[in-house]
Structures are given as structure tokens and as C-alpha cells.
Amino acid sequence: MRRALSLFTVLFLTAAWAGVALAQAPAAPAMSPEEFAQGKRIYFDRCAGCHGVLRKGATGPKLLPGEMRVEGTEKLARTITEGTVKGMPDWGRQGILSPDEVTLMARYVQEEPPVPPELSLKQMKDTWKVFVEPSSRPKKPEHNRDWQNFFSVTLRDAGQVAIIDGTTKEILNTVNTGFAVHISRSSASGRYMYTIGRDGKATLIDLWLKVPDKVAEVQTCSDARSIDTSKYKGPAGNFHDKYAIIGCYWPPHFVILDGDTLEPQKVVSTRSYTYDTNEFHQEPRVATIVASHFKPQWIVTIKETGLVWLVDYSDIKNLKITQIETEAFLHDGGWDLSKRYFIVAANQRNKLVVVDAQKEKLEAIIKVGKIPHPGRGATWVDPQYGPVGATVHLGEGKIAVYGTDPVKNKKHAWQVVREIEVLGGGSLFLKTHPKSQWIWNDHALNADPKVQRSICVTAKKSPDKVAKCWEVSDGGRAVHLEYNKAGDEVWVSVWKRKDQQSEIVIYEDKTLKEKARLRDPRLVTPTGKFNVYNTMKDIY
Ligand code: DHE
């Protein structure tokens, strides 16, 4: 007769098995505390975004110490130097990590990952600084510039953003922010620009000051990618510019802050269960956040659990969150033309998720190409299919165009209606404007240097194939496209290494002719560019 194993026996066997497994894995190579600290910093800067803080994997595979020790330092160093076909950058070959740093990282990932601390509201408040109190800020702009045409430009490796006057093309200020600012978002009024660093430091910039500058800052986490503001006016205009929200990778939570001062008000953990198998997840990171123009509502996407949370900010003491089950690995997204539907990439699932923000439910899931990466996407009216949206892809060279009008174009709604071939994969962003005849796209992460620095345009009138592609510069990566307020210029970053001179190239949209080339020693590694008017109105 089979006898059931006692709990003691099970525990003993499990412990013994774990001990054997551990004993079989080679020991991690020794590291000094200084080397470990350097590895921790480089891991955070370059690796955590894809592999996760706990190294349990996300966009990239898991890097658990036992398995890494089996791989060994030499093989790991080769991968870090050469990258992988699955999309890991060739850090060594690009010269971003020196050979010594590559070896250090190959050793570091064999160590147990350190778990960064959680952050309480009190700890956040301890980092909070107001440089100019709201009562001391100007009541109207202190300059005669068209501030709605300012651009906030990420200077990634300088830990700054540049505020550039889109009309005169002058750099008005370079503002010290968090490390490697990921995005800038405008307040509903447009007067303030909010930035979020990868290190979780948020900065509030007042564009009405004589020289636009930061008026407050706070650190709400140690790893973050998203920030937005309250864009719903409300019956008495009482929500405009009232709140900001920050989405964090680590700790996995979002934080609601006062819009004028960045004083943290409330922290909400995103740790919960995956939408499909209901397994607990320790590190479900906040990916894109967008603000509704029609309701006091933020759309907060939780990457690993595959849940889209609709956060009602009308009463933050009695916060209401609607949790919508969608698909895992949510990443970047934005509104459709009507701003009723929110569309986000589930990038590792090769899908786009569509949420109806009005009815507060999942509307559709669209199968697209390999690793879609829309940024906020591009939206326009197609001659045949009516209102459409589009995404580019990291994994293949195509733009997928899908219908977004379930009322007048029901047959095509949430179906891919066109596939436009571009120069190759590695595309990060595409953009258009209601006044433009073109859809622009980049290929910033393509492996071929010529393609990396090339962009293409497709005509809305004849969208079956790209109309023109060209190299923006003789080096670097051409990345991220943004229109000016009038919708007649397109700005493209030429992102070079920190020790090289990067550029911002400005094209006349109508003729595609180069209009200006901004070269300035202050433009260190420019990437994302955010025009105040277009960001405030969600025009893309
Ligand atoms: Fe981004 C948007 C995450 C790497 C430039 N990026 C986003 C968003 C997320 C995200 C979740 C959506 C924010 C929102 O809308 O609220 N990005 C990540 C990563 O996890 C990843 C893959 C790795 C990492 O370690 O950060 C990553 N991103 C990059 C880059 O390397 C880019 C090209 C250069 C840079 O400056 O870091 C980059 N990401 C951007 C930009 C946007 C963005 C410019 C905003 C696009 C827009 O038009 O709104």
C-alpha cells in the first residue's frame, strides 16, 4: 500500500533537493563590494528595463543566478558584447559598455539580485522639493513666446531635458531632471511640463517663467517610465492641472501627486494576480498611462499581469479602480482619433489591446506583426477604411493599419486593413498630424547602421507602400518623430553616443525638405521630443 508522505518528509526532501541543486551549480565568481555596486548601477541603467529588477524576466528572458552560473562568465560576456537576434542590444560592440564592464556584468548576473527597498509615502515626501511656491509663480507668461509651441526634449545620458522654442528653434534652458528621462507630458492647460526619470524622479517645469525651469521635484520610486496629468476639465474646471500620476517599474506601484507641487498624495500597489492563470506576480510594472479628456479617469496598464486599470480620480480618498482583463506584456499606447478607445501593445504577444474607456470594458484584441511598438501610435482617416490607427514593429519591417470606427465602418473596426512594408524591423515610433498628408516612421533599433539612421514617409492618399525613405544623418540612430504646434514641421532626433555630437533635424512636412539642423554641445543624446500643444491635446 502507498503511504502518503508526511509534511516533514516533503519539506526535508525539498530542502535536500534544493541543497543538491545549489551544490551542483558552480559558485559565482568573487566580486568586491565596489564591483558589485558598479554592476548594480549598470544593471539598473541598461538591463532592468527588459529583464526586471528581480531578474525574473519581462520583455527579455529571466537571468536567475543558478542558470547564469551554468552559462559561465565567458559565454555571458559574449552575449553582452554581441547581443542576440531576439533583440538584446550589442552593448559591447556599440561601445556603450567597455570590455571590462562587459566582463563585470557577466560576473554580476551570477550573483543573487539585490532587492531594492519599497518606498512609503513618508519616504517620498522626504525627497519632495518645491523650488517656487505656486503663489510666487507668474499669473501670465513672463515672455512673449508661443509657449504652446515649446518642445521638451529628453537628453537621455545628460539627465536633463532641453526646453526648445519651436518657433525660434532656440534652446531656452537645459533643466536637470531625473536620470534618463523617459517621457515628458503636458498639463491640461499646457503651462506645466512633467518629466519622469528612469530613476523615478519627477520634475515639474513651469513654461511661463521668463526662463522655463523646474519649480518642484520628487522621487516616488527607483525605476519608472510613465507620468501623466489630470486632463478632464470637470463641470467647474476643478480637475484641470489638479493631479499628476506616476507609474513605476520598481516598486511596482502608481502614485497620485498634487499637480501644482508634486506633493505625493497616495500610493497604490500593482502587485496582484495575472489576468489569465491568476498567479501572484511580485513585480507587475506600470507601463503606459494616459489621461481621459472626457472623464476623471487615468488608464493605467499593468505589464505583467495583463490588466488595464481604469482609475477614477474624482475622489482619491475612496479610489475606484476598474480592472479589465486583457493580455500580458502591455507596453506603449495611446488614444484613437475619437479619444474614446485606448489602444496598447501587448508586445511579446504580437497583439494590440483595445479598451473602450467610455463603457469601461475590453473592446477587442488585434493580432498584428512581430513585437508591435506604436509609441502613442498614429491616427488618421484612410480613404477606403475611414478612421484608422497604426503601429510599427520591432520584430519586422511593417506598419500595421487597423480600423478604429465600430459605428460607420463596423466591418473594418479592429481588423488589420493594410500592411505597409518599411525598411526593416527595429522600428520604435510613427507619427502623423491631422493637417499632414504623411505618416512618418523610424527604424532606430534596426541592426543595419544605414537603416537605423533612416526614416520613411507613407502618403495617406496612397497608403499601399512607402512614398520615400532617406538617411537623416551620416551616423547615429534617427529616433522619435514629433510635429510642431502648426502641424507643418516634423522634428527627428539623431541619437549618437554621449561623447559624440547629436542633432535634431527639422523637416518641412509638406515638401519633406530639410528646414533646420540643431547642433549644439548641450544636445547630448536627444531621444523623445514632446511638443506642448500636441502632448496636451493628444495629437498623434
Ligand atoms: Fe521607452 C515610451 C518603456 C526603452 C524612448 N517606454 C515608453 C513607455 C514605456 C516605455 C512603458 C510608455 C510611457 C507612457 O506613455 O506612459 N522603454 C521602455 C522600456 O521598458 C524599455 C524597453 C527599456 C528601458 O530600460 O527603459 C524602453 N524607450 C527606450 C529607449 O531605449 C528609448 C528609445 C530611448 C530613451 O530615451 O530611453 C525609449 N519610450 C521612449 C519614448 C517614449 C517611450 C521617446 C514616448 C513616446 C511618445 O511619443 O509618447
In the DSSP assignment, the letter for residue 150 is E
- Ligand 1 center–CA 218 separation, angstroms: 20
182 lines ligand 1 (CB under 6 A): yes
Alpha carbons within 13 angstroms on the beta-carbon side of residue 444 total 22
Can you tell me whether residue 28 is helix, strand or coil? coil
Judge contact between 285 and 270, C-beta under 8 A.
yes
480 lines ligand 1 (CB under 6 A): yes
Element (H, E) at 452: helix 449-452
pLDDT band at 219 (very low <50, low <70, confident <90, very high): very high
pLDDT band at 33 (very low <50, low <70, confident <90, very high): very high
288 lines ligand 1 (CB under 6 A): yes
Tell me what the pLDDT averaged over the chain comes to: 93
- Ligand 1 center–CA 86 separation, angstroms: 18
- Is pLDDT of 8 > 80? no
Can you tell me whether residue 112 is helix, strand or coil? coil
Q: Of all residues in the chain, what percent carry a pLDDT higher than 70? A: 95
Identify whether 50 is a catalytic site residue: yes
Residues in the chain: 540
Confidence at residue 402, expressed as pLDDT on a 0 to 100 scale:
98
331 lines ligand 1 (CB under 6 A): yes
Cell numbers 513618508: residue: 122
Confidence at residue 23, expressed as pLDDT on a 0 to 100 scale:
45
Contacts of 315 (CB under 8 A, 6+ apart): none
Report pLDDT digits (tens) over 485-496.
999 999 999 999
- Ligand 1 center–CA 373 separation, angstroms: 10
53 lines ligand 1 (CB under 6 A): no
What region, left, alpha or beta, does residue 405 occupy, with left being phi > 0 and alpha being psi -120 to 50 degrees?
beta
Nearest residue to 207 via CA among 166, 243, 159: 166
Cell numbers that stand for 170 in this block: 532656440
209-to-21, 152, 191 alpha-carbon distances in Å? 62, 15, 10
Confidence at residue 24, expressed as pLDDT on a 0 to 100 scale:
57
Nearest residue to 311 via CA among 244, 264, 240, 258: 244
- Is pLDDT of 20 > 60? no
* Crossing angle for the helix pair 33-42 and 99-108, to the nearest 10 degrees: 100
Query: What whole-number distance in Å separates Cα of residue 82 and Cα of residue 99?
Result: 12
50 lines ligand 1 (CB under 6 A): yes
- Ligand 1 center–CA 225 separation, angstroms: 7
Phi, psi of 334 (to 5 degrees): -165, -170
Query: Ligand 1 test: best mutation among 182, 226, 538, most atoms within 8 Å of CB?
Result: 182
Identify whether 331 is a catalytic site residue: yes
DSSP for 48-64 reads HHHH-TTSS-SSSPP--
In the DSSP assignment, the letter for residue 316 is G
Query: What whole-number distance in Å separates Cα of residue 385 and Cα of residue 404?
Result: 9
Confidence at residue 58, expressed as pLDDT on a 0 to 100 scale:
74
Ligand 1 atom with minimal separation from the 49 CA: 25
Ligand 1 atom with minimal separation from the 332 CA: 12
pLDDT band at 10 (very low <50, low <70, confident <90, very high): very low
Instruction: Give residue 261's Cα distance to chain centre.
Output: 24
Catalytic annotation, pick one of 182, 281, 373, 412 = 373
Structural domains of the chain, with CATH: 18-108 (1.10.760.10), 119-145+178-325 (2.140.10.20), 150-176+422-540 (2.40.128)
Can you tell me whether residue 509 is helix, strand or coil? coil
Peptide bond into 521 cis (omega under 30): no
Mean pLDDT of 130-142: 98
Residue type, 98: S
Identify whether 47 is a catalytic site residue: yes
Judge contact between 34 and 41, C-beta under 8 A.
no
Cell numbers that stand for 212 in this block: 522655463
Identify whether 88 is a catalytic site residue: yes
Can you tell me whether residue 66 is helix, strand or coil? helix
Nearest residue to 352 via CA among 369, 157, 337: 369
What region, left, alpha or beta, does residue 78 occupy, with left being phi > 0 and alpha being psi -120 to 50 degrees?
alpha
428 lines ligand 1 (CB under 6 A): yes
Report pLDDT digits (tens) over 235-245.
877 898 899 99
Nearest residue to 193 via CA among 222, 163, 221, 171: 163
Phi, psi of 96 (to 5 degrees): -75, -35
Report pLDDT digits (tens) over 322-335.
999 999 999 999 99
Mean pLDDT of 51-72: 89
Ligand 1 atom with minimal separation from the 156 CA: 36
Report pLDDT digits (tens) over 184-206.
999 999 999 999 999 999 999 99
Catalytic annotation, pick one of 31, 88, 240, 469 = 88
Identify whether 51 is a catalytic site residue: yes
Residue nearest atom 15 in ligand 1 by C-alpha distance: 288
Query: Ligand 1 test: best mutation among 42, 225, 477, 504, most atoms within 8 Å of CB?
Result: 225
Judge contact between 229 and 291, C-beta under 8 A.
yes
Question: End-to-end alpha-carbon separation of the chain, Å?
Answer: 70
Lowest-pLDDT choice from 138-152, 230-244, 388-402: 230-244
